[in-house]
Amino acid sequence: MPPAQSSRAGRGLLAVTLTACFVTAQGDEPAPAFINPFLDQPEALTAGEKIYRGRCFGCHFRAGGRGPNIFRSKLDPVRFIEIVAKGGNAGMPAWGATLSGDEILHVHAFVMSRDRL
């Protein structure tokens, strides 16, 4: 798939997946939890690390810095992805127009792959 199509497909997957997380199931069953489809995929983790080093490291470093230590964050995956895409309160820029949905998911997978203690 050409890069432009991949980027659009990634944003579409991200939008559909995140929308599904907010829609409650009928009856007493809760909506299914979001699971990043790139968790534990070596290629995605490598891509996520490359993006993190190029885009995120300047503020978050290895354990915080000007930004919070995202490796110890208690944010649920949907909120994490939302903050990366839309920006945050404390000067976090919105990356949703720069990074594809897949790229944001790769960063999330990379962060989740690190020691979370």
Domain extents in the chain = 3-113
Percent of the chain with pLDDT over 90: 34
Any residues with CB less than 8 A from the CB of 102 and at least 6 apart, and which?
6, 7, 9, 10, 13, 14, 38
User: 1: pLDDT confidence band, cut at 50, 70 and 90?
Assistant: very low
CATH superfamily of this structure's domain 3-113: Cytochrome c-like domain (1.10.760.10)
33-73 pLDDT, tens digit per residue, is 788 999 989 999 999 999 999 999 888 877 656 777 888 87
Tell me the mean pLDDT in the region 6-35. 55
pLDDT at 6 over 50: no
